[in-house]
Amino acid sequence: MGRVLAQQGHEIRLMSPEYVRPYVKSQKNDDRDAEGIAEAASRPTMRFVELKSQDQLDMQSLHRVRDRLISQRTSLINQIRALLLERGYIMPQGKTKLAKRLTELLEEGASDLAPRIVSLIKDMRDQWLSLDQSITSFDDEFAQQAHSDDSARRLLSIPGIGALNATALVASIGDAATFARGRDLAAWLGLVPRQVTTGGKPRLVGITKRGDKYLRKMLVQGARSAFPTLSKSPTALGAWLRGLLSRAHTNKVVVALAAKIARIIWALLRHKRVFESAIIMAN
């Protein structure tokens, strides 16, 4: 709808609903909602959302479908484990080990499971394999897109950012100039501390967890995978991580690294550069 109106010459301004709510007077109805939207849009400090292109929306749709398939696979695997646990079979952790153990268990006469239960678990295993194939197909598509898009290729140079993260971030962020600085992007992703101020005394608590939950999850997972290598590297980023580790828990340091990566992402997209980690020379 926004793109259609823009083609007709209208100026499109998208706002988060939470920014409109304070301007809605008394009880909610359509007239007061419209009045509140008009009042909020006229504020000089109001923040607007950039209109996304069709390609961005298509990429976000692919990520949502893949995420749903991941949830279905996890639910299916957990149900297989539960069914076997009820019958005295404790399955090993990890998808690879579970698949191998299932193959051994479902062999002719290898277990005392009822024939109907064996047939049921075989059918569930086939569904699992089908989900694996669909997820792999999505991953291949994301990898191809990441290497064909200039912005995504820049993000691939960042430790902890792969094809999945890069395509999701480019599709959601769009034009990095929408954010004035890197911290604004980190705040948009909910990776900055929430401030509670009373009597002029500011106090920082946990991260806000605002914005896109999927992107925040991907960034934190990427930061966790890159953390062991980065924390031991003789770089400025490695020295910063080691300093944090001396006074904070590892989980907090990982989230701080995710926020740092978000700022790096903004810098690379805004200035069209690739990530370069400078080595600290020993004295």
Q: What is the pLDDT of residues 200-244, one digit of tens each?
A: 888 888 898 988 999 999 999 999 999 999 999 999 899 999 999
| 167 and 265 both lie in a single domain | yes
- Using CA atoms, how far residue 29 sits from 19, 25, 40, in Å, is 17, 10, 16
| 258 and 170 both lie in a single domain | yes
Which domain does 17 fall in, by range? 2-41
Contact 257, 221 (CB under 8 A): no
| 137 and 164 both lie in a single domain | no
| 161 and 72 both lie in a single domain | no
In a domain, 276, yes or no: no
Neighbours of 22 (CB within 10 A): 10
Average pLDDT over residues 52-61: 92
By residue count, the chain amounts to 283
What pLDDT, in 10s, does the model give residues 2-28? 778 888 888 888 888 888 888 998 888
Measured CA to CA, the distance from residue 39 to residue 158 in angstroms comes to 41
What is the reported pLDDT for 211? 86
In a domain, 280, yes or no: no
In a domain, 71, yes or no: yes
What is the reported pLDDT for 113? 86
DSSP per-residue codes, 57-75: HHHHHHHHHHHHHHHHHHH
In a domain, 219, yes or no: yes
Which range is least confidently modeled, 22-36, 119-133, 148-162?
22-36
Q: Are strands 201-207 and 193-198 parallel, antiparallel or unpaired?
A: antiparallel
Q: Is 127 exposed, middle or buried (0-12, 13-18, 19+ CB in 10 A)?
A: middle
| 28 and 129 both lie in a single domain | no
* 196: β partners: 203
> Considering its fold, how many domains does the chain have in total?
3
In a domain, 111, yes or no: yes
| 128 and 161 both lie in a single domain | no
Among 115, 148, 181, give the residue marking a domain's end. 148
| 20 and 67 both lie in a single domain | no
**Kind plus residue range of the DSSP H or E element containing 228:** helix 213-232
What is the reported pLDDT for 152? 95
Prediction pTM value: 0.86
- Assign 236 to helix, strand or coil: helix
In a domain, 245, yes or no: yes
| 86 and 166 both lie in a single domain | no
